[in-house]
Structure 1
Amino acid sequence: MNNIFIKCLNSEKIQSGACHGQFVINALKPGQGITIGNQLRRVLLGDLGGMAISAVRIAGVSHEFSTIPGVREDILEILLNLKGIVLKSKTKETQFGRLKIQGPNVVTADLIKLTDDLKIINPNHYIATLSTSSIFEIEFKFEYGTGYKLASQTFLEEDENYLQLDTIFMPVQKVDFKIENIYDSSNDITESLFLDIWTNGSISPTEALESASQIIIDLFAALIHNTDKTENKHEDVQTDSISIEPYNNIAIEELQLSVRAYNCLKKAKINTVGDLLQYSPEKLQELKNFGRKSADEVFSTLKNKLGISLT
């Protein structure tokens, strides 16, 4: 485990401010690649948070099926375009922004006035087109969250005429991984885990990987520190029984008995070695169709495989 290391193979910005990064984790033991890859992928896609537009209030609009004079797009098209705006925030607090412009003009994301804590990653993102000299005004509500949130209602009267949006908070858009086996000079096998991460640009792939790793570390640290303390109270009591009968939970299938002996035990609802140890030799031979030969087989198997003697 001490030789494990991670290396960034490639990091680049792609269209609309999105980012892609490729990483490799080397010197893993066989089987560790799939375990680590699956865990990182789930956390990257599900547990990292981001800031997004959750609701808007458009001047002169009473519902999502309205139209605005002089604006080429209807409200549903505008709301769909707004969902594509990518934001980076220094805080997790709910914030507000405003856009007010007079046409004719093309409305893009860079025209939105924000607080100093917010930054738009794709400022050239298209919102709408004004074909006349009418005034187009929107107030934005920005919220921080994780995953995907469906709008409970598209129009809430009690929410001061805000139109609610289906909100994508996830900064990581896609994660792929693959595993390669590496053979050394002595033919020992190690694994290399190749991880590809695509983000929307509000966070770099390296930052996303670091955050996901920290979430996993914190999770297991919490499991260690929050272990039920009542287990310690029964530790002394359980120690004796464990040392005397360490094989209680082994299924009788593991003993590889003959078909006759196995069937007799199963019919008597003897499913584990622990169940078997509840029977004395005399009581065991009283089982239906369980003769001396089957009993001798069971006694011999217990002694040879597990070192247990029934006397």
Structure 2
Amino acid sequence: MIKNEISVSIQTPQWKCVESREDSKRLHYGRFTLSPLRKGQANTIGIAMRRALLEEVEGTCITRVKFQNITNEYSAIIGIEESVHDILMNLKEIILRSDVYGIREGSIHIIGPKKVTTQDIILPPSVRIIDTTQHIANIKNSITLDIRVNIEKGRGYIIQNPNHFNSKDGIFPIDAIFMPVRNVNFSIHSYWNGNEIQEMLFLEIWTNGGLVPREALYEASRNLIHLLIPFMRTEEQDIDETDYIPPALLFPGRMKEDVLKDDIFIDQFNLSYRIYKNLKKANINTLSDLLNYSPEDLMKMKYIDKHSIQQILDILRSFGFDLPLNRN
């Protein structure tokens, strides 16, 4: 009887994807389970993950549009069925995907008559359109539609201030919706396991295709862990409660002597999903593992390029570390 109780208490929770489907290019669904959990844990995790999925997952969208020879958002364009405002709303609905930060530029240069869709947008290689059939405008006459767009990656919802832009230059801001997760639900199933009540968490995720639900779950979990890292070291620091310290500085330079590198996992770093996945494939799980590789060693891995190396170096240096030089 004692052996059974011990085996239950040390059982590690495991997650599983029990359903995954693509209802359309702009609607993906995933259903996941996590079990076994002790009584109350499923609700704690469910609440935290729902908020993290809705608020902490990054997305990519168009944030600014520039028209040629247009100065009023509500004006009509002769020869085009849609008004300027209608075109802006259509551009706002476009779902994009990018692993690169910063402002990227795209353009549309179409001579009508033609129905303009998202496949007519010229984009940099780092940006991908999820649904190339999304409608933008219908050019009825032999005129040119010339548009330039700014594309950014971010988090949450940002309401643009029109006063920061000059419409006389044909520049119009678009409210940014950086939220690839459309909706999240969770439910809890309780059951008896021996003498202990255990729980199973069911998590349902709907995304717009910018990320699939599995990727969104990974990113939300990683970002949630990153938010909690400061609490792991509060007992070792003399911090004035009124002071704000950036997360990257919560690990001081003396960390090299005080903290075992094996206790710091790459999950705690804000790495892109592609880089994280390739490091895990190489069995690089901890900071200690990563510091055994030089930049040249990492470049030999598939899909690890100079941009990936720079991202890794920036993160390591913010924690007071650096990759070793090539031993060859």
* TM-score normalized with structure 1 length: 0.70
Cross-structure match for 1:300 = none
1:66 equivalenced with 2:49 (yes/no): no
1:194 pairs with 202, 225, 236, which one?
A: 202
Cross-structure match for 2:101 = 92
Cross-structure match for 1:209 = 217
* Structure 2 CA distance for partners of 1:131 and 1:154, relative to 1, 3 Å: farther
Task: Provide the rounded CA distance (Å) in 2 between the counterparts of 1:226 and 1:130.
Answer: 61
1:44 equivalenced with 2:82 (yes/no): no
* Structure 2 CA distance for partners of 1:166 and 1:118, relative to 1, 3 Å: same
Q: Cα offset for 1:220? A: 2.0
1:48-101 superposed Cα distances (whole Å, 9 cap, x missing partner): 111110010111211211111111011111111111100011201210000011
Is the CA contact (8 Å cut-off) linking 1:51 and 1:92 kept in structure 2? no
1:55 equivalenced with 2:35 (yes/no): no
Task: Provide the rounded CA distance (Å) in 1 between the counterparts of 2:63 and 2:229.
Answer: 33
* Structure 2 CA distance for partners of 1:120 and 1:159, relative to 1, 3 Å: farther
Q: Cα offset for 1:137? A: 1.1
Amino acid aligned to 1:22: R
Unaligned runs of 5+ in 1: 232-311
Cross-structure match for 1:244 = none
* TM-score normalized with structure 2 length: 0.67
Unaligned runs of 5+ in 2: 1-9, 240-328
* Structure 2 CA distance for partners of 1:104 and 1:158, relative to 1, 3 Å: closer
More displaced 10-residue stretch of structure 1: 69-78 or 215-224: 215-224
Percent of aligned pairs with the same residue? Answer: 33
Cross-structure match for 2:124 = 115
Tell me how many residue pairs correspond in the alignment. 230
Cross-structure match for 1:126 = 135
Task: Provide the rounded CA distance (Å) in 2 between the counterparts of 1:214 and 1:143.
Answer: 21
Q: Cα offset for 1:117? A: 0.3
1:23 equivalenced with 2:32 (yes/no): yes
* Structure 2 CA distance for partners of 1:121 and 1:227, relative to 1, 3 Å: farther
Is the CA contact (8 Å cut-off) linking 2:26 and 2:207 kept in structure 1? no
Amino acid aligned to 1:164: P
Superposed, 1:1-311 pairs within 5 Å as 2-153=11-162, 156-157=165-166, 160-184=169-193, 186-227=194-235, 229-230=237-238
CA RMSD in angstroms, aligned pairs only: 1.8
Cross-structure match for 1:264 = none
Amino acid aligned to 1:127: I
Task: Provide the rounded CA distance (Å) in 2 between the counterparts of 1:95 and 1:110.
Answer: 17
Task: Provide the rounded CA distance (Å) in 2 between the counterparts of 1:155 and 1:136.
Answer: 25
Cross-structure match for 1:309 = none
SS of the residue 1:147 aligns to = strand
Structure showing greater Rg:
1
1:208-254 superposed Cα distances (whole Å, 9 cap, x missing partner): 111111112222222112446239xxxxxxxxxxxxxxxxxxxxxxx
Is the CA contact (8 Å cut-off) linking 1:96 and 1:140 kept in structure 2? yes
